[in-house]
Chain A
Amino acid sequence: MPDPEAAGEGEQEENAPAAEREAAPAAGKPSPEAGPKGAPIHPDKTILIVEDDLDTADSLKVKLEANGYSVITIYDGLQALETARRIRPALIVLDVMVPGLMGYHICRLLKFDERYRDIPIIILTGKVDKSSREISTKAGADLYMTKPFELNDLLEEVRKFVG
């Protein structure tokens, strides 16, 4: 019996270079490749950040990299789903409003798929939607945080999930 996951990965491998390009920080954005505190101490622990506001994404990347994590940032929902499936990150930080595919949907698609359901997902939402907690829970998110949040609070949560 063919391994569906292996087949899927094979297909997606072809898209990889494009995805990586997208994931690179936009030109002119102050985003170092690694934090000044040195090389990742958890090179095997990659955090996927899905956030369409480039600066918010960058600030998360800086914070997490400074604390030893490898980080990939993606600004588009469809690419985020594809990348998550391909690289199986240690954790996903997911903004609700990303172009292409809403954060909730990405979360649902991963959490209701037994191959990916153990990847922890932190959803970031605006405060307006009262229902965001409910929807995040329904979509299977492990945690949701409302914007604006304290960056160090997020770091704490990441540590709890990833170590």
Chain B
Amino acid sequence: MTEDNKKHFVEAQKMPLLLEMTRKLYLSLNIEDVVKQVMNLAMQLVDADGGSIMLVDRKSKKLTINRAVRLDDQFAAQAMKIGERVSGWVADQKIPVILHGKLEDNPQFSALEGRSDVRSSMCVPLKINDTVVGVVNLNRMMDGEMPEFNQADLRVAVTFARYCAAALQNARLCETLMSRNKSLTEQARGQSIWLAELCHELNTPVTAIKNYLANILDGDLGEVPEEIKERLVRMGEQVNRAVVFIDELRTETDRELNYEEINLQLLIEGALRSIEIWTEEKEVKVAIDIEKNLPKVRADRAKIEQVLVNLLRNAVRFSEKGSGLTVSASAGDEEIQFSVMDDGSGIPPEAVEMIFEQFYRADDDAADDVPGRGLGLAISKKIVEQHGGRIWAESEVGKGSRFHFTLPVRSRGSKEQ
């Protein structure tokens, strides 16, 4: 085997090691981890017994040592400008160097004094596209047994540096994403808390306004002329719209579910009771069709009742005076399906897709006297999906609408218990 072939053989033997190391490197998504691994791997690959990794600090644009093996503390603490000393030169010129003997022997470093304990060293830039993000320094020390680095070592180091730079970039992107994600999550939580507090604060003025209106309308403060009373009644209705809206917002901020075993019959009856004022006003006839022996479900009772009330209220809202409405519940193998069916005006097909979106509101005069701001269905969707169920609507203009939602028989709540 010629000397050249021998070199190639050694290099080729290192390739599987190089690949395996790089694979591991890519799995690491933390910069500190990557840097630590790069240092160890690079030293193993080229049989170095010392070295350092310097990364370009994104703020100061200086090279700072992130990891070092066998380097004096005084060097380790130093930040280096691009162009300064060997590492700076490599970062600036974007080309790797091999140095033996005295630094002064190399024309570009003739003014520098080298380290006396280093026999041979390589300095390789870490490049992403054409941007240098750092350098890897690898040393063979005077007290070690290895001879000086050769061109084959340099080729290995350069190849490795290419993968390292990419792994480093990966880790940097990942850290940026994670920190952004964290701050967004915190921001969202902060907003949610803020909103909850706001809703809470709004209760105070609303209570006072409602109560004073009741005082005046009930004649607690003396008789009130009829035409003033009429306006005060309407004022009260407007305040109640605000109350519903605040309540919807509040529920929106309240994301935790309180699972309990619920009796569906009672749940539906309760929901119907709370819309009684509307069904009576419109003389809507309500039919209940609940399958016998429904399995029990675990769910947040108040929230599921809220969904039912929302659907029922919507149904009444779009129903003609004196028309019919059906609430049904039936069980499948894995889920219970609730349906609310009305004989109302129906929803155009293009709108069926949109009604579960926030702030969507049917463009219909008939709905204007009903409290709510189009949050109801969006909130219902959220609640049902939080329970692991589905919600959807079927409708045809002139033939009424059917709203359905499901709850899993084995809900997530039962697993938690």
A interface residues (Cβ-Cβ under 8 A, vs B): 30, 32, 35-37, 53, 55-56, 59-60, 62-63, 65-66, 126-128, 130, 147-152
Flag if A56 contacts B220 (CB, 8 Å). no
Kindly state whether residue B77 has any CB partner on chain A within 8 Å.
Answer: no
- Inter-chain CA distance A97–B211, complex, in Å, is 18
24 contacts between A and B (CB under 8 A): A36-B220, A53-B208, A59-B208, A59-B215, A60-B211, A62-B221, A63-B211, A63-B220, A66-B221, A126-B200, A126-B203, A127-B199, A127-B250, A128-B197, A128-B250, A128-B254, A130-B254, A147-B206, A147-B207, A148-B210, A149-B207, A150-B210, A151-B210, A152-B218
Flag if A148 contacts B214 (CB, 8 Å). no
User: Closest Cβ of chain A: how far from B238's Cβ, in Å?
Assistant: 14
A-B pairs, top 6 by smallest CB distance, nearest first, are: A59-B211, A66-B220, A55-B208, A151-B214, A148-B207, A128-B200
Flag if A36 contacts B221 (CB, 8 Å). yes
Q: Which residues of A contact B197 (CB under 8 A)?
A: 128
What is the predominant secondary structure among interface residues of chain A facing chain B?
A: loop
CB contact list, B206-243 vs A, under 8 A: 206-208, 210-212, 214-215, 218-222, 243
User: Closest Cβ of chain B: how far from A51's Cβ, in Å?
Assistant: 9
Kindly state whether residue B247 has any CB partner on chain A within 8 Å.
Answer: yes
What is the predominant secondary structure among interface residues of chain B facing chain A?
A: helix
Out of B199, B211, B219, name the residue touching A56 (CB < 8 Å): B211
Kindly state whether residue B204 has any CB partner on chain A within 8 Å.
Answer: yes
- Inter-chain CA distance A127–B220, complex, in Å, is 27
- Inter-chain CA distance A126–B254, complex, in Å, is 14
CB contact list, B85-122 vs A, under 8 A: none
Q: Which residues of A contact B214 (CB under 8 A)?
A: 59, 63, 150-152
- With A128-B196, A128-B199, A128-B200 known as contacts, the answer to whether A56 contacts B208 (CB < 8 A) is yes
- Inter-chain CA distance A118–B290, complex, in Å, is 45
Q: Which residues of B contact A53 (CB under 8 A)?
A: 204, 207-208
- Inter-chain CA distance A109–B207, complex, in Å, is 27
Q: For the A-B complex with A62-B215, A66-B219, A147-B206 known, give 20 more contacts whose Cβ atoms are closer than 8 Å.
A: A35-B221, A36-B222, A37-B220, A53-B207, A55-B208, A56-B204, A56-B208, A59-B212, A63-B214, A63-B215, A126-B203, A127-B200, A127-B250, A128-B196, A128-B200, A128-B250, A148-B206, A148-B210, A151-B215, A151-B218
User: Closest Cβ of chain A: how far from B128's Cβ, in Å?
Assistant: 50
- With A128-B196, A151-B214 known as contacts, the answer to whether A62 contacts B220 (CB < 8 A) is yes
Flag if B203 contacts A32 (CB, 8 Å). no
Kindly state whether residue B274 has any CB partner on chain A within 8 Å.
Answer: no
Closest to A56 in B: B208
Q: Which residues of A contact B222 (CB under 8 A)?
A: 36
Kindly state whether residue B258 has any CB partner on chain A within 8 Å.
Answer: yes
- Inter-chain CA distance A59–B247, complex, in Å, is 22
Q: Which residues of A contact B218 (CB under 8 A)?
A: 63, 66, 151-152
Q: Which residues of A contact B256 (CB under 8 A)?
A: 130
User: Closest Cβ of chain A: how far from B14's Cβ, in Å?
Assistant: 63
Identify which of A53, A66, A148 gathers the most chain B CB atoms within 10 Å of its CB: A148
- Inter-chain CA distance A36–B220, complex, in Å, is 7
Closest to B203 in A: A147
Contact with A along B234-268 (1 / 0, CB 8 A): 00000000010001001000101010000000000
Q: Which residues of A contact B243 (CB under 8 A)?
A: 148
User: Closest Cβ of chain B: how far from A140's Cβ, in Å?
Assistant: 23
User: Closest Cβ of chain B: how far from A117's Cβ, in Å?
Assistant: 28
Q: Which residues of A contact B212 (CB under 8 A)?
A: 55, 59
Q: Which residues of A contact B221 (CB under 8 A)?
A: 30, 32, 35-36, 62, 66
Out of A35, A55, A127, A150, name the residue touching B203 (CB < 8 Å): A127
User: Closest Cβ of chain B: how far from A102's Cβ, in Å?
Assistant: 15
User: Closest Cβ of chain B: how far from A143's Cβ, in Å?
Assistant: 17
- Inter-chain CA distance A25–B200, complex, in Å, is 25
CB contact list, B253-302 vs A, under 8 A: 254, 256, 258
